[in-house]
Amino acid sequence: MGKVVRAYRTHLYHGKVISQATAASWLYLTQSQLSRIESGPPVQDMDRCIQWAHTLRIPADLLWFALPGEEKAEDHERPTVAHLAEDGFPGEEMSELLRRMFLKRGLAAITLPAMGLEELAHIVAALDNARRYSDLEVVGHFQIQLATCAAKDRERGPKQSIPLVLGLMAAIEHMAREAQPAVRRALLQTGAHAAEFAGWLYRDIAVPEMAGYWRDRAVEWAQAAGDFPMQGYVLLKKSQAAWDGRDALRMLTLAEAAQAGPWSLPLRVRAEATQQEARGHAMLSGDLAVIESKLSEARELLAEDTEATGIAAHYDEALFGLQCAICYCEAQEPARALELYEEWLSPDAFSRRDYGYFLALKSETLASAGAPDAAASTGLEALRLARETTSARTHQEVLRLVEQLRPWRDRERVRELAHAVLA
């Protein structure tokens, strides 16, 4: 590595010659230390080699070129990082070394599955020296990781995503301490989104205390980043979480607070919060006039937003239809709710996890409509999906269904569901 550094600073560094003293300062070494490295035996600490290569911006494929005065082996193709990753060596070793550097900083949860070696090296350097190397490109890498986790969660549930998101937030928090102000704001904004997502993941595995903790962190980071709409969005998420305990007053209060705060919410967030108000009213009073008015207002807001970007981009017509079904069921109108379930609930429109959850709610509506066999059959399918996607939230709804079907406990299909839950 010493020979690579010497060759690169004297021949190849952006067409300029870099003095030994200058290069040494960049590498946090004295000139005499760098002189010994350049002329001495091979450096054994690969972590430091990786850092130095990144600091000097040495392209990965040049780390194996024939140095001045040395013969290049004719049968040796100069590898690129892509070749190394494909061949598994030494790219696999480099990747492991980079991961080991995360471990040194207590970030063992990070595995960064969608990250290439160049991106890993960039993040490692930023973790080591955030003031110098953290930039918007690093923030972009984190955002890609967050999107990857969200996609996996939709199909496989929270079990795999939680460790990744926790590690991602640890890296963001570590880097934000020393990053330049503009980068710090972008990091904290991404951290707020990650924390809100962590709150959702813990809600899905039925750990409300941790879910609440991460939502509070999301608000804190959003405030530090000046992301005001995110603060209102987290209030909406708290309102929706209150549904799990069927706390109607908390649902309604938080949904109203989300819209009344000193921020301008995106149209879809306003639509979702307004619909959440309708559900609160359905549970508290059952006043159909108020419910219909709120749902109509939410429908108009949703129709007005045609771009579907940013927070609440997932909130579409199908999800709106199912949320309306929940409102009607709570207002003791199960027949109207079932019409909406039939119209909007399909495995093509929702992820497996979400499809299972709404199937569980549909089964409760069937029970309310006096159809115990259909409710039990639907509940069995929801239970299967809850297990496959490790969704404790869906499992809780199936438990509610079993209690709701108690008057029909002697029916064969209902007994089958009860036995499946116990199993």
**Which one-letter DSSP state was computed for residue 13?**
B
Domain boundary among 226, 242, 259: 226
Report in angstroms the alpha-carbon separations of 285 from 296, 330, 404: 18, 10, 21
In the numeric block, the tokens 């040194």 are attached to: 104
Do 173 and 134 meet the contact criterion of CB atoms below 8 Å apart?
Answer: no
Query: Does residue 65 surpass a pLDDT of 50?
Result: no
Domain boundary among 226, 246, 265: 226
Whether 237 maps to a domain, the answer reads: no
Of 59-68, 278-287, 329-338, 402-411, which range is least confident?
A: 59-68
Q: How many CB atoms lie within 10 A of CB 380?
A: 18
- Cα Rg for the chain, rounded, in angstroms? 28
Q: Are residue 126 and residue 195 in the same domain, yes or no?
A: yes
**Across the chain, what does the average pLDDT equal?**
83
Whether 87 maps to a domain, the answer reads: no
Q: Are residue 111 and residue 211 in the same domain, yes or no?
A: yes
* pLDDT tens readout for residues 310-361: 788 889 999 999 999 999 999 999 999 999 999 999 999 999 999 999 999 9
Residue 151 confidence (pLDDT): 82
Residue 13 backbone phi and psi in degrees, to 5: -75, 90
Winning range, highest mean pLDDT, from 2-6, 96-100, 244-248: 244-248
* pLDDT tens readout for residues 198-235: 999 999 988 999 999 999 999 999 999 999 999 999 99
Residue 67 confidence (pLDDT): 41
Alpha helix (H) residue ranges in 285-333: 288-304, 317-330
Whether 386 maps to a domain, the answer reads: yes
Q: Which two tokens stand for residue 287?
A: 């006043």
Q: Are residue 139 and residue 211 in the same domain, yes or no?
A: yes
Whether 6 maps to a domain, the answer reads: yes
- Dihedral of CA atoms 344, 348, 351, 353 in degrees, nearest 10, equals 70
Q: How many CB atoms lie within 10 A of CB 313?
A: 12
Q: Are residue 50 and residue 110 in the same domain, yes or no?
A: no
Whether 295 maps to a domain, the answer reads: no
Whether 248 maps to a domain, the answer reads: no
In the numeric block, the tokens 């690579």 are attached to: 4
Domain boundary among 203, 226, 249: 226
User: Cβ contacts of residue 313 below 8 Å, gap of 6+?
Assistant: 268
Can you give the residue range of the structural domain that contains 143? 106-226
Winning range, highest mean pLDDT, from 38-47, 160-169, 223-232: 223-232
In the numeric block, the tokens 């962590």 are attached to: 198
d(CA 272, CA 263): 16
User: Cβ contacts of residue 388 below 8 Å, gap of 6+?
Assistant: 157, 352, 356
User: Confidence class of residue 252 from pLDDT cuts 50, 70 and 90?
Assistant: very high
Q: Which two tokens stand for residue 65?
A: 């070129």
Do 169 and 198 meet the contact criterion of CB atoms below 8 Å apart?
Answer: yes
d(CA 423, CA 411): 18
The 3 state secondary structure assigned to 16-32 is ECCCHHHHHHHCCCCHH
Give me the percent of the chain exceeding a pLDDT of 70: 82
Task: Classify 1 as helix, strand or coil.
Answer: coil
Kindly report the pTM of this predicted structure: 0.71
Q: Are residue 112 and residue 172 in the same domain, yes or no?
A: yes
User: Confidence class of residue 394 from pLDDT cuts 50, 70 and 90?
Assistant: very high
Whether 242 maps to a domain, the answer reads: no
> DSSP states of 326-352 as a string?
HHHHHTT-HHHHHHHHHHH--TTTS-H
Q: Are residue 124 and residue 12 in the same domain, yes or no?
A: no
Q: Are residue 7 and residue 65 in the same domain, yes or no?
A: yes
Q: What is the CATH number of the domain that holds 48?
A: 1.10.260.40
Q: Are residue 9 and residue 60 in the same domain, yes or no?
A: yes
Q: Are residue 21 and residue 133 in the same domain, yes or no?
A: no
Q: Are residue 162 and residue 219 in the same domain, yes or no?
A: yes
Residue 109 confidence (pLDDT): 39
Q: Are residue 123 and residue 64 in the same domain, yes or no?
A: no
Residue 117 confidence (pLDDT): 60
User: Confidence class of residue 137 from pLDDT cuts 50, 70 and 90?
Assistant: confident
More confident residue, 137 or 386: 386
Domains in the chain, number: 3
More confident residue, 124 or 154: 154
Whether 321 maps to a domain, the answer reads: no
Q: Are residue 43 and residue 139 in the same domain, yes or no?
A: no
